[in-house]
Structure 1
Amino acid sequence: MTNHGNMYGPDFTFLGIERCDLDIPSSYADADVVIVGAPIDSGTSHRSGAKFGPQAIRGGDYLPHDAERPHLALRIDALKEMKVVDAGDLLMPGSDLVASLEVLAQATEKISRAGAIPVILGGDHSIASADVAGIARHRGMGKISMIHFDAHADTGEDQWGALVGHGTPMRRLIDTGTVRGDRFLQLGLRGYWPDAKTLDWMRDQGMRS
């Protein structure tokens, strides 16, 4: 079972858009975008709570979509121009981070193969390796590029001995050949991290920031 509504809150969709079920391909066969919640925070360092992110994002957009609020600059309403559906939250075994990330990777691969763009509501930063990995399984390992907006590079070699965590996803993407370093662009990075050793590794991979 990959779809479990909203695991940590009321079962409503983003902006009240149509619901789909990832286990029923016909429910999103004509979709341009599929929204998925990834309620997980077992990859965090100090503070839990990111698993409530999907619920908070859906709940924060309390006004239903009525096609009456176009983008101020583009003058179009994205939900009017595209078919966007919400698959709810993935059923993720929160105590097993690796298994949870595999659930997400399978979901994004499925959405990509259906011809839609997956939009993931997280969740801690560890999910960044899984959602990209799923797309790469469809599009080809090492064949996709990534633009990463973040205050930190998330290229740690490990996180207190663990290879998977919120500070390591970009390194895992490169180490596994999912995304080549020279196809990485990182925007918004600031101190206090990475350290000099990690910055040297990033330079050697061809990463740009």
Structure 2
Amino acid sequence: MPKYEPRNSFESPRFSGPRTFMRLPWVEKAEEGVDFAVTGIPFDGGQSFRTGARFGPEAIRDFSVLLRPYNPVQDISIFDYLSGIDYGDIPIIPGYIQESYDKMVEGLTPLLQAGIKPIVLGGDHSITLGELRAVAKQYGPVGLVHFDAHSDTWDAYFGMKYNHGTPFRRAIEEGLIVPERSIQVGMRGPLYAPDDLDVAKNLGLEVYTTNELRQVGIEAMIDTIKERVGQGPTFFSFDIDFLDPVYAPGTGTPEVGGVTTTEALELVRGLTGINFVAFDLVEVLPAFDHGQLTACAAANVVYEFISLIALQKKAKMAKDMGVATHAG
């Protein structure tokens, strides 16, 4: 079976060729032996303020050509352990959210059935509901790690149940995630009422504001997340507005007072050992980006997602080898 890895930038200039994530091969089918697939869901019909996140996947891919295969902080050569592809974009239907959800499930199901971990580039945060529907078909209800400035657990916007402010409430109602194994980190910004964050807590989610994150510190938060989600299958959703708009200006609903890019990367890197089965990064809006700051941050977060998969596989290989050696 073929092993897929990025094009060698010592042999082919980064500015040449099609813009796939990290210069990975563009393969629009689930193939045996592939460990992860980066795919775009360019849907922004759920945004309530700035629109344009449909162009997020393109922007993230464009910057990602600068990424290299060795992660020095995690000390791992990713493609020594992984085979990965760019799966292209899920063919959504602009303006039709329910029909687009069906397309998302249809597009992601072959990957999940093949044991391939999807890494989705959004798109606004409404797309996560479609992803979770596909993931739950394969794994049942999953735990959730959610980094965001907003809880996205409102009941409705303008009387409508499906948009980027409601996906996690709908996911809980549909039995797609296990609230007792789910955590939200980074909430901040003005609210409508004093008890707004209680909405998520009353749904069973554990919720930390950015201020609380800073009070407990990154290492303690990593421990809290790991304890909360346990060892079961888990979904990781990262809204780029988790970052302060100084570091990620290109997003739909920015909130001041967020974390730095360095802090965000430290948090993601610390989440080793969690059984992540799918990931997404959403709400990149290139029209408001400056100097590709947001695309740069997003591409590097996705790179750390891939590094987590590589570390997970490396640990499994070492464990299997140890078992085999012991048995021998």
TM-score of the superposed pair, with normalisation by structure 1: 0.84
Cα distance in 2, alignment partners of residues 200 and 62 from structure 1: 41
How far does residue 197 in structure 1 lie from its aligned partner after superposition?
A: 5.0
Cα distance in 2, alignment partners of residues 20 and 40 from structure 1: 21
Cα distance in 2, alignment partners of residues 96 and 79 from structure 1: 38
Partner residue of 1:56 out of 54, 59, 69: 59
Partner of 1:169: 167
Question: In the alignment, is residue 152 of structure 1 matched against residue 150 of structure 2?
Answer: yes
Which one has a bigger Cα radius of gyration? 2
Partner of 1:137: 137
Cα distance in 1, alignment partners of residues 177 and 90 from structure 2: 24
Partner of 1:79: 79
Structure whose residues are more often helix by fraction: 2
2:144/2:183 contact within 8 Å kept: yes
How far does residue 99 in structure 1 lie from its aligned partner after superposition?
A: 1.1
2:19/2:65 contact within 8 Å kept: no
How far does residue 193 in structure 1 lie from its aligned partner after superposition?
A: 3.4
Q: SS of 1:34's equivalent?
A: strand
Any idea what the Cα deviations from partners look like across 1:132-152, whole Å, max 9, x if unmatched? 221111111x3x101000011
The unaligned stretches of length 5 or more in structure 2 are 1-16, 208-328
Q: SS of 2:180's equivalent?
A: helix
Partner of 1:5: none
Same amino acid, percent of matched pairs: 31
Question: In the alignment, is residue 117 of structure 1 matched against residue 124 of structure 2?
Answer: no
The one-letter amino acid of 1:46's match is F
Query: Aligned pair in 2 of structure 1 residues 194, 99: CA closer, same or farther (>3 Å)?
Result: farther
Partner of 2:230: none
Any idea what the Cα deviations from partners look like across 1:43-75, whole Å, max 9, x if unmatched? 10122210001110111123475x4xx212222
Partner of 1:199: 197
How far does residue 187 in structure 1 lie from its aligned partner after superposition?
A: 0.9
The one-letter amino acid of 1:99's match is E
Structure whose residues are more often strand by fraction: 2
How far does residue 38 in structure 1 lie from its aligned partner after superposition?
A: 0.4
1:155/1:198 contact within 8 Å kept: no
The unaligned stretches of length 5 or more in structure 1 are 1-9
Query: Aligned pair in 2 of structure 1 residues 42, 16: CA closer, same or farther (>3 Å)?
Result: same
Partner of 2:19: 12
Q: How many residues align?
A: 191
Partner of 1:4: none
Partner residue of 1:36 out of 34, 39, 61: 39
How far does residue 104 in structure 1 lie from its aligned partner after superposition?
A: 1.3
Q: SS of 1:153's equivalent?
A: coil
1:38/1:51 contact within 8 Å kept: yes
Query: Aligned pair in 2 of structure 1 residues 198, 183: CA closer, same or farther (>3 Å)?
Result: farther
Q: SS of 2:85's equivalent?
A: strand
TM-score of the superposed pair, with normalisation by structure 2: 0.55
Cα distance in 2, alignment partners of residues 150 and 192 from structure 1: 14
The one-letter amino acid of 2:161's match is L
Deviates more, 1:173-182 or 1:51-60: 173-182
Cα distance in 1, alignment partners of residues 175 and 193 from structure 2: 23
Residue correspondence of structure 1 range 89-100 to structure 2 within 5 A: 89-100=89-100
2:43/2:54 contact within 8 Å kept: yes
Q: SS of 2:134's equivalent?
A: helix
Query: Aligned pair in 2 of structure 1 residues 62, 201: CA closer, same or farther (>3 Å)?
Result: closer
Q: SS of 1:181's equivalent?
A: strand
